[in-house]
Structure 1
């Protein structure tokens, strides 16, 4: 994990793509997209198996390594209405039974509007954005909220890093806008997609942005010179 200061508060960046706010014990997870693979298979598209299991395994590891007391999903918990498949919901229910001590909250995203809320049996509190937590506004869509620093998902950010041999590598990343609090600052941070079966979208780095890439189980700050 990498410890940083964000909007005057401590934050821990986990190699899974989750972010912990230690002051609140809240672990933020963006774009899990549970049931995405089964949604594609129901359409006849051959895709990887056991992606929900892999994502849940990563979530269990992140909770254990951060000692999180609460998980807030920043939108797109289920991928589509087809994600309510029996095997997907069963995997989620079994995981929930093992983590009954952890409070779960979902801030609805655009996919949640189509998929519908998770089953009540999962014990997940569901709210619309923004969810205010101290100086932060927890959202799905990365757009400014007056008087708060926004932490969001939706974009699945990644960066292209150039090497010495003129090669390029795409890496998922945390993307934090200006947290100075000055007028006109773009006070929005975007987490990488957490789901094991999600795409990535290249970002356009602005002056004052901070990027932290995930590679080989580590989170590393990226100087501007390394970004292609």
Structure 2
């Protein structure tokens, strides 16, 4: 098991359903063939949502996440961005207007939202931000959904799980890292958003995880 240190906007090559993708250290996936950027579980609005509920999250985190998203898109200049659900965490709050303004300024890129369980805003809100909305999006043999289904005849790229893996070192050292989790017919992306938490996965034989440790990708095959 070796770690690969990457430049900030470089990616680690991952093969999915016969296609080559780049897993980015920013917890996003790039499909170079079509110049499509894929982002799961951004959960924009979560900071404001929890602050209103009395949870002491830093207000600076709002602009930090928004800036990170905009810089990623501007650095890559994809033709299209696919948000794999849970784009906005809850009801409309001040973060939605910030996000809407930033997205509309990126007029060289088109945006698709594959709805997730947290995407509860009225459709008009998404459309006013220039987002096309759908429940499933398919192209070139790959199906994009928010949550993995029981479908086995198609390869799905999805989110929802917020996968993480516990990496153990010498002694009692350990760290839980976000990852892309690849099974036989699914690729479950790490959550892009901050303050999303991690679900501890237990891979089976033949499955793969690609751990993201800041600017490094650590691939593991089981």
- Normalising by the residue count of structure 2, what TM-score does the alignment of the two structures yield? 0.88
Q: Which of residues 89, 92, 101 is equivalent to 2:108? A: 101
Deviation, 1:96, is 1.7
Matched, 1:157 2:163: yes
Q: Structure 2 vs 1, CA of residues 44 and 10 (structure 1 numbering), >3 Å: closer, same or farther?
A: same
Structure 1, unpaired ranges of 5+: 179-186
Aligned to 2:219: 221
Corresponding position of 2:4: none
Offset at residue 140 of structure 1 (A):
0.4
TM-superposed deviation, 1:155: 0.5
CA distance in 1, matches of 2:194, 2:115: 20
In 1, Cα distance between equivalents of 2:78 and 2:219: 23
| 1:105-138 Cα distance to aligned partner (Å, 9 max, x none) | 00001111x344444321000101x211111100
Q: Distance in 2 between matches of 1:121 and 1:53?
A: 21
* Aligned partners of 1:144 and 1:188 also within 8 Å: no
Q: Structure 1 residue 169 and structure 2 residue 175: aligned? A: yes
The verdict on how the C-alpha distance between 1:15 and 1:138 changes in structure 2, with shifts beyond 3 A counting, is same
The residue correspondences of 1:1-228 to structure 2 (distance < 5 A) are 1-81=11-91, 84-85=92-93, 87-112=94-119, 114-117=120-123, 118-128=125-135, 130-178=136-184, 187-224=185-222
Shift of 1:60: 2.6
**Aligned residues of 1:137 and 1:145 also touching (Cα < 8 A):** no
Could you state the TM-score of these two structures normalised by the residue count of structure 1? 0.86
Structure 2 CA distance, aligned partners of 1:67 and 1:20?
11
Deviates more, 1:213-222 or 1:192-201: 213-222
SS at match of 2:138: strand
Distance in 2, matches of 1:203 and 1:115, equals 30
Conservation of the 8 A alpha-carbon contact between 2:13 and 2:22 = yes
**Using the alignment, how far apart are the partners of 1:132 and 1:52 within structure 2?**
32
1:175 to partner: Cα distance: 0.3
Are the counterparts in 2 of residues 143 and 188 from structure 1 also a CA contact under 8 Å?
A: no
Secondary structure at 2:30 match in 1: strand
Mapped partners of 2:116, 2:40: distance in 1: 10
Query: How many Å apart are 1:217 and its aligned residue?
Result: 1.6
Q: Give the 3 Å change call, closer, same or farther, for CA 116–123 of structure 1 in structure 2.
A: same
1:146 shift after superposition:
4.8
Deviation at 1:218, TM superposition (A): 2.0
CA contact (8 A) 2:207 2:221 kept: no
Give the distance between the partners of 1:161 and 1:146, measured in 2 at CA: 29
